[in-house]
Amino acid sequence: MFVNVYVCYTKLWQLQQILINKKIQWIKRERKKAKYQKKSPMHIIGKVDYRYTLGNSLQKFERFEEALEAYEEAICALPTNVDAINGKGGDLYLSIGFVLDILGQHEKAIVEYTKAIEIDPKFILAYNNRGLAYDKMSNYHKAIEEYTKVFTIDKQYYTSYFNRAIAYYKLKNYDRAVEDFSTVIEINPEYYMAYYHRGEIYELQNKMDQASKDYVRASQLEPCLTIPYPQFKKIPEKSSYETSYQHLSLAIQDQPDNILAYNNRGFVLFEMNQPLEALENYNKAIEIKPTIATLYYNRGNIAYFLNQFEKAIEDYSQTILIDPNYAKAYCNRGTIYKQLEKFDEAKKDIEIAVKIDPQITTKRNFSFDLSLFALPKNPIIQNIEKAVEAFTGAIELSPQMTQAYQQRGIAYFILKQYEESLKDFSQVLLLEPNNKEVHFQIGCVIVYQLVHSAAS
C-alpha cells in the first residue's frame, strides 16, 4: 500500500512541474504578443502583471536568476507606480529582495526590502525579511531592531518573535531568547520549533526537567523531530568528554589523516558545547577524504543546530548522493524542508526515509554517527568470550604481551564491558607509549561508554 502511495505522489509531483512549465511558456507567449499592442496605461499595468506572475512561477520552480530578471523587467515597465501592481504596494520589491537573499546577495536584498517599506511603512513581511538578511550577515543586533519594529504594527506576528529569539540565541542572550520562544508558544502552541529551541537553551542552562518537557512536546508535534542528542536523558561529566577529546587529539597528532578520529572528536566537541570547533573537525575530515557519507551527515547536524538550514540541506543532499540509502539524511532534510514550508519536498523526503527504514520516526534522527576501530565482522558472542579467555591465558604466560592486551580490549568492547576494555587499552599505553592505535581506541571506548550509559 505504501509503495502505491509513493508512486502516486511522485506522479503528482511530476505533473506539478509540467503545469508550472506550461504556465511559464504561456506567460512568455503573452509577453511576445504584448510587444505589438498599444501601450495604454492599462496595457502597462498588464505588462507588469505578466512579468510579476512569471517571476513568481520561476521562483516556485527555483529558477531564481530568471525570476529576478522577470521582476526587474516589471520594475522597468512601471518604475513610478509600483502600487498599481495587483493593488499590493511593495510586493514586487519584496519579491526581488527575497530572490536576492536566496542568491546570497544580502546587502542588495536589504535595499529592495527598504524600497518596499518606503511604499508601505506597515509592510510586516518586509521588516521581517530585512531582519533575516541582517541575520545572514551576522549583524544580529540590527536584525533584532528589524524584528522589534514588526511588533509596533502587529504584536501577534509570532514569526518575528521566533526570528528575534534565534538572534538573541546567537548572541548568547539566553534569557531574552527564552522569553521570545515562550511568546511564540503563547501565540501558536503548535509551533514545534519554538519548543525545540527553547529546550536547547534549557539544556545549556542545565534545566533538564524543563528541557525534557520541551523536547517531548516538540517531538509530539513533529514525530520526525526527536530528542537531538543521544545522551540527552543523562548528561555525563564534562571531564569524561575532555578525556576522550585528549586521546582523540593525540591520535590525530600521531596520524594526521585519521578521519575517524576527526569524526569522533567533532562529536565530542559538540557535546562540550563547542559546535564551531566541531564544525572545523568535520571540515578537515571532508578535506582529507570527501567521499564519506557519515562526515557530511554529521556536519549537516552541526549546521542544523546552528540554524544554517541551507548548509544543512547541502550536506544532507551530499550524504544522499554518496549513499542513497541513508534514511536519517532524508528524514532530517525533510524536517528542515517542512520548517522552510517546502511541503512537497518535505513529504517526498519523509516518505523515502520511511521506505528505507520503516522505524525511522521512532529513532533519534539527529544523533551523530560515530566511527570505530576495526572489529571482526558479525562476531559471535560465544566465540568472543572464548577469545577473552585465550587472551587472558596469554597475558598470564607473558604479562608484557602488548598485542594480547590490545586484542582483549577489543573483545571486551564487543561485549560492552567498557571498563574492562579501557583497562586493557590503558595497559597497552603503559607498555607501549608510542602505539599509534591505542589513543584512538581509548577515545572511542569512552565516547561509546558515555552514549551507552546515557541511553540506558
Tell me the pLDDT tens digit for each residue of 122-160: 999 999 999 999 999 999 999 999 999 999 999 999 999
Structural domain contains residue 381? no
Tell me: do 162 and 67 sit in the same domain. yes
Residues 341-393 have pLDDT tens digits of 888 998 899 899 889 988 776 344 557 788 766 665 656 667 888 888 999 99
- Residue 163 sits in the same domain as residue 69: yes
The domain boundary, picked from 329, 362, 395, lies at 362
Q: Which stretch of 84-88, 207-211, 268-272, 346-350 has the lowest confidence by average pLDDT?
A: 84-88
Residue 33 lies inside a defined structural domain of this protein: yes
What CATH number did the domain enclosing 341 receive? 1.25.40.10
In the chain, the percentage of residues whose pLDDT exceeds 90 is 34
pLDDT(173) > 50:
yes
Are residues 330 and 349 in contact, defined by beta-carbon separation less than 8 angstroms? Answer: yes
Instruction: For residue 282, give the 3-state DSSP assignment.
Output: helix
The pLDDT of 392-419, averaged and rounded, is 90
- Number of independent structural domains in the chain: 2
- Asked, for residue 424, whether it belongs to a domain, the answer is no
- Tell me: do 217 and 250 sit in the same domain: no
Same domain for 268 and 153, yes or no, is no
Residue 81: Cβ within 10 Å count: 12
Q: Which domain holds residue 250?
A: 238-362
Domain end (from 221, 249, 284): 221
pLDDT at 315 over 80: yes
pTM of the model: 0.50
Question: 329-337 contacts: CB < 8 A, separation 24 or more?
Answer: 329/293, 329/297, 329/300, 330/356, 331/224, 331/360, 331/361, 331/365, 332/297, 332/300, 332/301, 332/304, 332/365, 332/366, 333/300, 334/224, 335/222, 335/224, 335/225, 335/365, 336/304, 336/309, 336/312, 337/313
Q: Return the half-sphere exposure (C-beta side, CA atoms, 13 A cut-off) of residue 212.
A: 9
Q: What pLDDT is stored for residue 134 in this prediction?
A: 94
Same domain, 208 and 258: no
The pLDDT confidence band at residue 17, using thresholds 50, 70 and 90, is: low
